[in-house]
Structure 1
Amino acid sequence: MKPLTTLGETPAALPGTPLSGSTTNSQIFLKAKFLLCAGFGIFMFLCPLGGDSFNTPLSLLTDAIDKFISTNLPWFLTALVVLSAVSGLLGQFVQPAWLRRRAWLSELVCISKPYLVTRLVAMAVTLGVTFGVGPEAVIGEDAGGNMVGLASTLIAIAFALSFVMPFLTDSGIMEFAGILLKPLTRPLFHVPGRASVDLVASWLASSNTAVLITQQEYEAGCYSRREAAAIMTNFSLVSIPFCMVVAETLDISSHFLALYAVVTAIGLLLAIVGVRMPPLSSIPEAYRGKKNIAEDVPENVSLFGWAVQSALDRAATFQPKQVLDGGAKMTVGILCDLIPIVIAWGTVGSLLVNETPIFQYLSYPMGIYMSLLGVPDAFTAAPATLVGFIDMFIPALISTNLPSEFTRFVIGGLSLVQIIYLTEVGSIIVKANVGIDMKRLFLIFLERTVLALPLLVLAAHFILE
């Protein structure tokens, strides 16, 4: 392989040999294509617009779609969930030939019995919320009503994300960042350099956005099962806007900058430790299909030069048809598969939190642990350390009346670094088939909780006292 001494040379070009006009024009075109497509993806996902809400263009687009659907198509979610359940019944008991011939559609319709039950539960909850029929504990705002509202937002995310994501993942920027950052991410986190894009996307957009990016990269052969599982459970930090909401809810917004700095630092430390611990370390390095990643730099080629050439090679294969086909399939997958899971699992989880004392009993050991760490009101705050597995906002909601600012700071930080919750991220991780079932997911959640608590207590002492 010849050195890439300039951006205009290709790997096969001899040093000092003039390039033909057609080759030069081709390279200029590829560079322009890469800069425009990747620049659009970076702008949509990773460019904060500032202001009080600190939104990205993608989040603004999502909000606009959400408002349009809620105003003009209020029935859309109900019809969607009913269609998902009916199609699941069709795939379970009929399985027509035309359906089996379309692999991607067959995967959505021909589902297992547990997932069929999930869709039927989601349909019952959605119909109950829509028509106001059923027990208040199920359809109220603290359970089914909240999950249906969340699912409506996910519809907007599906439409916005699916057709914009290829500009970030398939236009060359992942290859460029991956090669440049591999010397840092591989030894620290045991993941490819391109995982850094997932991390930044979660910081500035949302954690479910980063998990969906990781899922797509895994399905494309860019991550192994272990790498995808590690990225999903360690790199998908919650977004800055949500951190602001948590800080305001717990009345610790005056310490927001310190809180977010602590959450970021602890999140990175947990990633370094977590990828070296079971169950993540025991997941095999298997790829879904053919491995489709090459971040190793050939001899006599500069790191930056190889990053640029790899990005241009990927940009050369990027076509609008990919955006439309891939976006349509991803949208249908989120709408018909993920949304029923969020509604069903989220409602059941919320009922366990609101209507049963199970988390009071389960959290007793955490109360002892926090007492040993010197956290005020340890047993009162203990349930908040576990309910984040259901939804990341519940810990803040049930901790607003804690008298100690110290304890509220610890709970707020903990809810942000746990990052694994069933209503969104957890559902995607389990469904992605990257070697993490519900049992392993909860074990990882517990590991992060136990490791993060003493670090948060130490930080709270330093910041608040």
Structure 2
Amino acid sequence: MKPNIQQQEEMYEDRPIDKKGLFTFLFPSLFGVFVFLFPIMGGQAFNIPLGIMSEYLIELLQNYLAEIVTTVMVISMALTLFTVTIKPKFATKNSEWRSLFDVSIFWTLTRVFGALFALMTLFGIGIQAVYSSGTGQVMLNDLLSTLIVWFFVASFLMPYLINFGAMEFIGTLLRSITKPLFTLPGRSAVDLLASWIGNVNVGVVITREQYETGFYTSREAATIATCFSTVSLPFCLVIAGMLQVDHVFPVFYLTIVLAGLASAIIIPRIPPLSKMEDTYYTESTIHEDLPEGKSRLRWAVEQAVGRAKQAGSFRDQLKQSTQIFMNIIFVLLPQAMAIGTVALIIAEFTPFFDIISKPMIPLLQLLQIPSAAAAAPATIVGFIDMFIPAVLASGIEEEMTRFFVGALSLVQIIYLTEMGTLLIVSKIPINIGRLFIVFMQRTLISIPIIAVMAHLLY
């Protein structure tokens, strides 16, 4: 729940910290930090409570998830067509309904195709290129059926991380690091941790919610979402295992960290992100600057307590969570199905990425990457989906090349089947063209770093 301007000004006044306010900040925030950020060892890999809960539900519902996701898409299509064609009075007067279903012709058609693609895939009918194992089935059965559960759990737990002062507290303490290093406010550190340890898409949703409630500028939100979100440690382990480089995982993950940090430092300082406006989506009076004569810790606690006092009741948190989840399932799912399936069809059935990746071959040869011609398409196709580079590289004989492609795919992070579409359909002003430019910037910055690490190892 977003505090108004007067409430925000009151929250930053210099006043004693009362115990009730301190407890209101501490207990929900500690719970939120535990759920989203606390690593727990499970089997051979680390996970977080959010991941454990999500994976439990996925296993419980795995036989029904594809049907649930398809049903949601069909409902979204039907309600969107009803709203944009009939325009009933109740829909035009309800802002929440309008934000979900009163969309442009382009997004209406996207939802229609998303629902149709889901139906084709679920029943194995229609165009084979749509429902094949490498296209529609990847989107429906592997990605969206998992995402709907992740987002369900995250949506109803997210308020404890963002509404009760954790971001204000951590942001104030870390501002002296994140501002000069990444040109970002301190509160973005929570996004980094949430996506680094947990799930990159959850990190994007947190960023989107913070932008729409006036806590980030458009430049900050776009920068955090494209540069400050990273692939989670458990997923890195999965990719390393697929490429049979898990026996050198410490070096593999260190390489990802180094390349990711270099990208996060450089890209916010160059176009297109550096040219984006520092304007808020809604009015904001965020104060991270340390007042004269006050310790950083006390200022952090004061801001956190003030934010917690304005968080609202449990009913308010439940309403916000429901809105977040409804926006994801009715907006993201059908549009991700449409865009992701088309992108996978292009990658699977056309030579498009083989052609546009040809300029990468001389660069890889210059860096002495074995099987450069075979690795080149994998350096570009990650824009479509994060799994595809690993699939392409899994058949390459040289381990050094598999190491290189795997690490690069995990640093690129901007892929249309999930987080790219999540960004495109959000209110953050970043389109597919800007996303591809940032993707290529991350790629070109990371390639020499990963190549050096690969040569040191092999």
Distance 1:292 1:87 in 2: 37
- 1:282-321 mapped onto 2 (5 Å cutoff): 282-318=275-311, 319-321=313-315
Q: CA deviation at 1:71?
A: 3.9
Q: What is the match of residue 9 of structure 2?
A: none
Q: What is the match of residue 400 of structure 1?
A: 394
Distance 2:101 2:191 in 1: 29
Q: CA deviation at 1:215?
A: 0.4
- 1:10-409 mapped onto 2 (5 Å cutoff): 11-13=14-16, 27-51=18-42, 52-71=44-63, 75-149=67-141, 150-318=143-311, 319-409=313-403
Q: CA deviation at 1:292?
A: 4.0
Distance 1:296 1:404 in 2: 51
Distance 1:326 1:248 in 2: 38
Q: In the alignment, is the contact (CA less than 8 A) between 1:349 and 1:390 conserved in 2?
A: yes
Distance 1:315 1:42 in 2: 14
Q: Which amino acid in 2 is paired with 1:373?
A: L
Distance 1:126 1:64 in 2: 24
User: Which ranges in structure 1 are unaligned for 5 or more consecutive residues?
Assistant: 1-9, 14-23
Q: Which of the pair has more CA radius of gyration?
A: 1
Secondary structure of the 1:50 match is: strand
Q: In the alignment, is the contact (CA less than 8 A) between 1:139 and 1:145 conserved in 2?
A: yes
Of the structure 1 ranges 369-378 and 63-72, higher mean CA displacement relative to structure 2 is found in 63-72
| Per-residue deviation, residues 403-448 of structure 1 (Å, max 9, x unmatched) | 1111111101100110100111101111223221111110111111
Distance 1:77 1:434 in 2: 25
The match for 1:432 among 426, 430, 433 is: 426
| Per-residue deviation, residues 289-316 of structure 1 (Å, max 9, x unmatched) | 1014211121111111100111111111
TM-score (norm 2): 0.94
Of the structure 1 ranges 410-419 and 98-107, higher mean CA displacement relative to structure 2 is found in 98-107
Q: Which amino acid in 2 is paired with 1:156?
A: V
Q: What is the match of residue 7 of structure 2?
A: none
Secondary structure of the 2:40 match is: coil
Q: Does 1:412 align with 2:406?
A: yes
Secondary structure of the 2:41 match is: coil
Q: CA deviation at 1:73?
A: 6.3
Q: How many residues align?
A: 443
Q: Which has the higher contact order (CA 8 A, sep 6+)?
A: 2
Q: Which amino acid in 1 is paired with 2:124?
A: G
Q: Which amino acid in 2 is paired with 1:158?
A: F
TM-score (norm 1): 0.93
Q: In the alignment, is the contact (CA less than 8 A) between 1:129 and 1:139 conserved in 2?
A: yes
Distance 1:448 1:454 in 2: 11
Q: CA deviation at 1:180?
A: 0.5
Q: Which amino acid in 1 is paired with 2:89?
A: A
Q: In the alignment, is the contact (CA less than 8 A) between 1:119 and 1:341 conserved in 2?
A: yes
Distance 1:82 1:135 in 2: 18
Q: Which amino acid in 2 is paired with 1:438?
A: I
Q: Which amino acid in 2 is paired with 1:279?
A: P
Distance 1:74 1:408 in 2: 32
Q: Which amino acid in 2 is paired with 1:85?
A: M
Instruction: Give RMSD over aligned pairs.
Output: 1.4
Of the structure 1 ranges 381-390 and 134-143, higher mean CA displacement relative to structure 2 is found in 134-143
Secondary structure of the 2:46 match is: coil
Distance 2:145 2:100 in 1: 20
Distance 2:300 2:324 in 1: 28
Distance 1:384 1:292 in 2: 44
Q: CA deviation at 1:233?
A: 0.4
Q: Which amino acid in 1 is paired with 2:36?
A: F
Distance 1:300 1:282 in 2: 35
Distance 1:45 1:66 in 2: 18
Q: CA deviation at 1:271?
A: 0.7
